[in-house]
Amino acid sequence: MTINHTIFECPTALQCWALSNIPSSLGLFPCNSLYSNIDFLLFRAKETGVRSEALAAFPWIAWYIWKARNKKIFKDKDITPMDSMQLAVKEAASWTLAQRIPEDTEGDSDKQRRTRHKT
């Protein structure tokens, strides 16, 4: 079993990708080449009209497919493709939120301090 098979080709992985907002393209994605699959997700999918928001979740989709496989092998626990997708989408959204830079409110704090001390 290869990494490509585990993340892109096994029945559970195929179900996860089918549940994602990244459409499958016969002969293009997913395919039997790890390099081609990653290349598609990083570069080619946008050319086929896949939205950036959907593509932003692909690392988490792959990660949760991998984690589900490990739980099956090492703990004999089955994780459904739907559960893997829900976790992946949730984590991708959390990461996206954590990347936002808060607005500069330092000036507001200084103004509030000066206003309080004016009395």
pTM: 0.81
Domain ranges in the chain?
A: 3-99
Percent of the residues in the chain that have a pLDDT greater than 90, as a whole number: 77
Query: Burial, 38: exposed, middle or buried (Cβ in 10 Å; 0-12, 13-18, 19+)?
Result: middle
Mean pLDDT of 91-116: 73
Mean pLDDT of 63-78: 97
pLDDT in tens, 16-49: 999 999 999 888 899 999 999 999 999 999 999 9
What are 104's two structure tokens? 């500069």
**Does 14 score more than 90 pLDDT?**
yes
